[in-house]
A and B are shown apart, each in its own frame.
Chain A
């Protein structure tokens, strides 16, 4: 198993599986309520024109979140 990276470091267009939430702050809880759970597959669709926030796709819908929140979502890139 490859070492997990931050969701914010994932390449545009790449998919990954969520591995860990190192922080249990309100942002992390809300992300999990929105369906980002350990084991969920996400795709980084794009970044906003100025590089932040990110747009990800999961469970058939699109979600935007800031890089500062995506730093605390650890993922394992999928082939």
Chain B
């Protein structure tokens, strides 16, 4: 490997006492995650950048001599002129704008050999930073298959930095890369390009201001000045150090002047970068063979076909849906059983008392309730990982974009919303694939309206109670069920439309999306990502859910009734029971009494708890068969002797469950994913408000019509 040694870096020479820090950057779909996993193995720490929901991944790689090297895996970016929170974080870390992350010593840039020009755009911006850079040209095998020869030594000469050919999927080039990474000195790039004449004075002025007012090193200041100019109306995220007022003022003065003159300054900058890239590419790339349609083109002819495309999408989604439902059920039941066994064991091992109740019902029950979500989360993220790494995810978004666009969202909201039919928790976690922050927030806000599997037992019980006897055809019951699911979906889209027009109005999000070639998934990468999601859920949302579960347990267990009272009497005089009474005036216009009120309150633990609570309230045996409970419910009366569960009340109750936000776990995950209590509280208010209003209309209109 012949490396130019005319310049060598002294500023970033890693001192022998400190572990050198590399930032790993690259375009999405260029194999960055695979390289990161190959370099660091399981030695990874996944967290969040404070204030933004962008994943922060840090790992440790070891040089050939066993020296540790820290690698920060920055989010995939097409450009440092950020258009999404992911790209904003990458930009801010590289520019040293984030107080929570030290500026990396060196940069490891990975590019896709099959798509060199576009990938070099980001490299070109990064070389401006004046930091030592190692360039990894990945997917050399795929480039060769496409009839492209990438002349690595020419690229090395043109840029003046180490360039390593690599196939991250099978580890080729990894040793050479580690050798380069542990070099004590790295040459700085021979990086000169012509900034357009009209813009050059602005760059100089901004650079000077960044050095004197924002305390930046000259190289970084110049890079930042160039970025500020392309960064027209860029994304700002929490945790990013704002510009000094003087620098911002200079920027605005120049932008104003160019706008008045009609100068397309940002476009001119992009052009001059691509001019420089074009000269390099002409040297480096040899088109050695003419190729016909690639395998990827052939797959796409079916997968995005106007007829077959829907069939494939339908099949994939059905498979996803059925998997979440059926594959998750045995482990969820197993978790239930194990919690019950553990609780029984503790009950025998501990002396009778409040502490025992707290441990068995509050803590063990609460922990079980948290772990119960794991199977669904793991299965969904395994699927999403497969869809993303094969390239199908982008196609699904491509096909669905038009429909989602009707309500102001884009195609990427489709899978999170669909997954919410199983459970809103993984659905909301899956919104991280949506780059646009407003689209993401709207998707999070409406996701719990998609009827989830926890509502199913409530619907089933209500349908059983609503439709007396078995004389009514199955079709009616199924029809009511479909109606409830459709109503929730319609509600989700309606509110998305409303929010995008009012609360979260803004420029329509960009739907400029790469359709990467189809690739075989790497099971190791997919599995690792799945486990990280599960761990993140337990760490971040689990504790919050557990805490609230214990509070809910306390409310139904205290104050204690005297010895010898039944469960029914205990619940009736507990805080929850009293709250049911307090709630009665508010829910009476919906046809609900205080006993149903207790059910509504207990549903906050999880909606399906409604069924078991009704069992306690009406003193019916808790069995798998709902018949005794149904009998007890049908026998329930208002104090004046009117029956409580009329068909209209059952129907109204279902409407209420379609819309009401009654799930603390969802509230907890929304709090974590939006980093504030504002949005979960707003969501609870708007959903429950809608539920009340619609239930009121249905019940009052139904009563007036004589049902």
Contact = CB atoms under 8 A, between A and B. Distances in A.
Interface of A: 21, 24, 26-35, 37-38, 45-46, 48-53, 55, 59-66, 68-69
Interface residues of B, number: 44
Contacts of B507: 26
A61 B118 contact: yes
A26 B233 contact: yes
Contact of B514 (A26, A31, A61, A68): A61
Interface in B370-409: 394, 398-399, 401-403, 405
A68 to B, nearest CB: 8
A63 B270 contact: no
A46 B516 CA distance: 15
A49 B598 CA distance: 49
Given A26-B232, A49-B310, A65-B513, 17 more contacts: A21-B267, A24-B232, A24-B267, A30-B78, A31-B512, A32-B267, A33-B78, A33-B270, A35-B118, A46-B300, A48-B401, A53-B511, A64-B513, A64-B514, A65-B511, A69-B510, A69-B511
A63 B515 contact: yes
5 contacts: A24-B266, A30-B79, A49-B309, A49-B310, A59-B118
B230 interface: yes
Given A26-B232, A28-B267, A53-B402, A35 B117 contact: yes
A37 B278 CA distance: 12
Interface string B200-244: 000000000000000000000000000000101100000000000
B604 to A, nearest CB: 40
A26 B146 CA distance: 33
B114 interface: yes
Given A32-B267, A49-B306, A62 B514 contact: yes
B258 to A, nearest CB: 10
Nearest to B397: A64
A26 B117 CA distance: 21
Nearest to B122: A33
B403 A50 contact: yes
B267 A48 contact: no
B513 A63 contact: yes
B121 interface: yes
Closest 4 CB pairs of A and B: A50-B402, A62-B515, A49-B306, A32-B270
B194 interface: no
Contacts of A27: 510, 512
Contact of A55 (B115, B267, B398): B398
B399 to A, nearest CB: 6
Contact of A26 (B83, B310, B394): B83
B415 to A, nearest CB: 16
Highest count of chain A CB atoms <10 Å: which of B264, B270, B304: B270
B511 A66 contact: yes
A26 B78 contact: no
Contacts of A63: 512-515
Contacts of B394: 64
A45 to B, nearest CB: 8
A33 B309 CA distance: 30
Nearest to B259: A24
A51 B402 contact: yes
A31 B230 CA distance: 13
Contacts of B306: 49
B271 interface: yes
B305 interface: yes
B232 A35 contact: no
A30 B514 contact: no
